Structure 1
Amino acid sequence: MIKMTKKMTKKMTKKMTKKEARELLLKKRNSLTKKEVKSASESIIKDIDIIIRESKNILILGFMPIGNEIDLRPLFDRILSGYYSENYNIDAVLGLPRVCGGDMKFFRVRSLDNLERSKFGILEPKSDSEEIIPTGAKVLVPLIGVNKNNQRLGFGAGYYDRYFGIHKDNMLIGPAYDFQTCIDFEANEYDIVINHVLVAR
């Protein structure tokens, strides 16, 4: 479990602007050690593994980590290797996002080795990949923080807010460190609500 310092906790006693909350939370996240990130990521992966094994067929929409984000690549490798099909007879499909102009779309991924780096430095599917229009998907959403209503604080580009403001028939799951939850920031009505926040133990 990764806690805030007393100094950071004091700063968060009042409602913050999104900019203030981003700066504070990213500073904390950037200070994590590789060991802390690995431990938290393994904890989250165990929780997602349970969700997958409770399903028969499942579409997982994930994200590739940047910096000290929760790293779900070991889970993605497990999905792509056929592990769930071979051991549990579960048809698990993986999709990842790609920024296309001013919008974001999801594409099916069959290998993490076949990704390319975007202008933002994020690995994403190639443009000729098979697009996925999700319905009933389990969407692993990157986040900087969530408030008490589980509204998401992202980087501010609005890709996820716009996309899932349209594609609403999906479950949004937010993998998070404990210090990223119940953040009092000035949310807007278009900030998407995370259906289920998975907090690393």
Structure 2
Amino acid sequence: MKELRQKIRQQRQKITRSERFIASKKLSSQILKNYLFKTPQNIALYLPFDGEIETQYLITTLKKFNHKIFIPVLFKEKLLFSRLTNSLIKNRFGIKEPKIKNIILKSKINTVFMPLVAFDKSANRLGMGGGFYDKTFSNNKRVKLYGLAFDCQFVQTLKINNWDVQLNAVITPTRIVKS
């Protein structure tokens, strides 16, 4: 898995800034077209790191529909979710996150859009290897979990473990892969 992570991350990092912008806008359109949320929700989204697909356009659009946006904050090997603010700091991995305040209980989150390194035809997700999302959402079957990715992150089959949480779908700029 380590070699696969490295290979896919390198592919992802080769995507140019303009290609990344276009892909991110297409992905946001996919979400809004297929998952338009009629009533305001509590939505967890990440801030991109290490070549992950951009989320700013999606965040801006969701806010226009009165959704509340929460960003993961790493705290004692767990993820907490804090309301998005303009005041961001970098955690120990160099990932931007809000300060720990305005925390929402994970049970109050309706939808999570999470990053991934690779995904397969069954919407299985390979993350960075820390298991943070798996630990956080292993006992919460109510929340909808979606992975966001570039098309180049697709692999035919991933070996999954019993602790891996199942995504509802992976969304790319060109398709939706459902579980």
Q: What TM bracket, shorter-length normalisation?
A: 0.7 to 0.9
Give 1:92's match in structure 2, choosing from 67, 72, 79.
67
**CA distance, structure 1, for counterparts of residue 104 and residue 36 of structure 2:** 25
**Equivalent residues, number:** 174
Post-superposition, which runs of at least 4 consecutive aligned residues in structure 1 deviate over 4 A? none
Is the contact made by 1:136 and 1:169 (CA closer than 8 Å) also made in structure 2? no
Shift of 1:169: 1.1
Equivalences for residues 1-201 of structure 1 within 5 A: 18-51=1-34, 53-80=36-63, 83-84=64-65, 91-109=66-84, 111=85, 113-135=86-108, 137-201=110-174
Unmatched tracts of structure 1, length 5 or more: 1-17, 85-90
Q: How far is the alpha carbon of 1:161 from its aligned partner?
A: 0.7
TM-score by length of 1: 0.79
Q: Indicate the structure (1 or 2) with the bigger Cα radius of gyration.
A: 1
Question: Are 1:149 and 1:193, in contact at CA under 8 Å, matched by a contact in 2?
Answer: no
Find the aligned partners of 2:9 and 2:77 in 1 and give their Cα distance.
24
Does the 8 Å CA contact 2:43/2:109 hold for their aligned counterparts? no
CA shift in 2, pair 1:108/1:71, >3 Å: same
- Would you say the 8 A contact 1:98–1:107 is kept in 2? yes
Distance 1:194 1:182 in 2: 16
Pair 133,187 (structure 1): closer, same or farther in 2 beyond 3 Å: closer
Question: Contact between 1:150 and 1:182, CA under 8 Å: does it hold in 2?
Answer: no
Query: Gaps (5+ residues) in structure 2?
Result: 175-179
Alpha-carbon distance, 1:116 to partner: 1.5
Q: Which moved more, 1:147-156 or 1:180-189?
A: 180-189
Q: Provide the TM-score with structure 2 as the length reference.
A: 0.88
Deviation per CA, 1:114-173, whole angstroms, max 9, x where unpaired?
222111111112112333323461210100011232221001001001111022211111
Q: What is the distance in 2 between the residues matched to 1:179 and 1:189?
A: 26
Q: Give the stretch that moved more between structures: 66-75 or 180-189.
A: 180-189
CA 1:172 to 1:154, structure 2 compared with 1: closer, same or farther past 3 Å? same
Aligned-residue CA RMSD (Å): 1.8
- Greater helix proportion: 1
